[in-house]
Chain A
């Protein structure tokens, strides 16, 4: 049961990052706004980056929650496969990473 909670906490953490990052992006954009770029463009970029990051994080969180509960079940019966459970648990993070890279590229 503990592991299930852990999964939730981690998912929440990922989600939190997803929420914070766009705001930062927006803040940075506002700070360094170049006169030549229309504000609509900056805003659209920020929103796009936020979506890229946020949606991919939601996807990863969902996947991790599923894997986490199954992994906790597996661990309860077969502790010897712990390493594979942990590895599987970490796999969906790639989804967030891709979202993150996209977000950076949109802003960069």
Chain B
């Protein structure tokens, strides 16, 4: 389940000098805050193209816009750039880093497959689904394209089985339950459990780099567990034990804590239970917004931002460790996400202060 381009075996060993130097070089080409400011004031997509044509994104934009200078084409270019960048980085990492980063990037496969089945469940248009995908895991853009075109979840699972994708294993197991209840949760839970188990296994050990990668994974697992907790507050499980939803391998949220929280009745109590973890502060900061909007996506966003910040912090540690690479890839993802927001916003004439709110500038 390594990245799709790993045709060439990574350099054996743990020499981070070469890879980290390259990553630092690439990091120096991330767009500056000023560039973002300028982009946000662009009047239309053409202006954005003009501004980005001489940056890292230039070649990808040139490739994409030959079929027309539409927001979709530019968006396509951003994603192609992100895919290319991730592939390039995976291509020069040493064996250990390749393993660790590859494991963490598995979350994108998870994310993509979940998006597809969710989209199929809600009968979204293929284009709508494809829009939200990031082909930076094991599944290539072309493969994801085939998956989104399929008629239903069953076809998606069948195709993954046919391809021999490792994610077929949890999906085919959970498909029966989905068939009966029509509830996505079973499929998603199976996927989450499969990924966190697979990743935890690959990230076991006591070396500093492994510990770092495991920590990032742990934060992600915590986020999922917390969101599950919040969802459970709203839903009646009808006698099913909430324990089955717990994902092991979190950084702060233990099984006991999870069980305690899932017995609670409102958000305030949950935040209280989280007091000893760093999440309490993050979530309390947005609770007003949550009350206002009443949507769990507020919390989801806050947790995502927190994981992002922690991943970026990883770049400030050991200069000869895997943190540099992790931080760069996360920063790149952040940049691409922001660019996509700007292009979409510009295309629909969103005012720039609205856009700024949407951006994740860290």
Q: Known pairs A73-B92, A77-B21. 20 more at Cβ < 8 A?
A: A66-B17, A67-B17, A69-B17, A69-B18, A69-B21, A70-B18, A71-B21, A73-B17, A73-B19, A73-B20, A73-B21, A73-B22, A73-B24, A73-B25, A74-B21, A74-B24, A77-B22, A77-B24, A77-B28, A78-B28
Residues of A near B22 (CB, < 8 A) are: 73-74, 76-77
Interface majority SS on B: helix, strand, loop or mixed?
A: helix
Residues of B close to A78: CB separation below 8 A: 25, 28
B331 to chain A, nearest CB (A): 15
**Are the CB atoms of B18 and A73 closer together than 8 Å?**
yes
Interface residues of A in 72-108 (CB under 8 A from B): 72-74, 76-78
Q: Which of A67, A69, A77 contacts B25 (CB 8 A)?
A: A77
23 pairs, A vs B, C-beta closer than 8 Å: A66-B17, A69-B15, A69-B17, A70-B17, A70-B20, A70-B21, A71-B21, A72-B18, A72-B21, A73-B19, A73-B20, A73-B21, A73-B23, A73-B24, A73-B25, A73-B92, A74-B21, A74-B25, A76-B25, A77-B22, A77-B25, A77-B26, A78-B28
Contacts from B to A (Cβ < 8 Å): 15, 17-26, 28, 92
Distance from A8 Cβ to chain B, minimum over Cβ atoms (Å): 12
A4 contacts B28, C-beta separation under 8 Å: no
Q: With A and B bound together, what is the CA distance between A72 and B16 in angstroms? A: 12
Using C-beta atoms within 8 Å of the partner chain, give the interface range for chain A: 10 to 19
| CB-defined contacts of B15 to chain A, threshold 8 Å | 69
**CB of B3, distance to nearest CB on chain A (Å):** 19
How far, in whole Å, are A4 and B11 apart by their CA atoms in the complex? 12
- Set of chain A residues within 8 Å of B23, measured between Cβ atoms: 73
Q: Which residue of B lies closest to A78 (CB)?
A: B25
Chain B: which residue is nearest A74 at the CB level?
A: B21
Taking CB atoms and an 8 Å cut-off, the chain A residues in 9-27 that contact chain B are: none
Collect the chain A residues with CB atoms within 8 Å of residue B25's CB: 73-74, 76-78
The answer to whether A4 touches B18, judged by C-beta atoms less than 8 angstroms apart, is yes
Return the 4 tightest CB-CB contacts between A and B, nearest first: A77-B25, A73-B21, A70-B17, A73-B22
B332 to chain A, nearest CB (A): 14
**How many Å from the CB of A31 to the closest CB on chain B?**
44
Complex interface: chain A residues within 8 A of B19 (CB): 73
> Which A-chain residue is minimally distant from B26 (CB atoms)?
A77
The residue in chain A whose Cβ has the minimal distance to the Cβ of B29 is: A77
Q: Report chain B residues within 8 Å CB of A69.
A: 15, 17-18, 21
Most A CB within 10 A of own CB, among B15, B17, B92: B17
Smallest CB separation, B254 vs chain A (Å) = 40
- For the complex, give the distance between the alpha carbons of A66 and B14 in Å: 12
B320 to chain A, nearest CB (A): 9
User: What residues of chain A lie closer than 8 Å to B92, measured between beta carbons?
Assistant: 73, 76
**B-side contacts of A71, CB under 8 Å:** 21
| A74, chain B: closest CB distance, angstroms | 4
Report the bound CA distance from A66 to B18 in whole Å: 8
When C-beta atoms are compared, the residue in chain B nearest to A79 turns out to be B25
Kindly provide the distance from the CB of B349 to the nearest chain A CB, expressed in whole angstroms.
Answer: 37
Query: From residue A67, how far is it (CB to closest CB) to chain B in Å?
Result: 8
Which A residue's beta carbon lies closest to that of B21? A73
When distances are taken between beta carbons in the complex, the residues of chain B under 8 Å from A70 are 17-18, 20-21
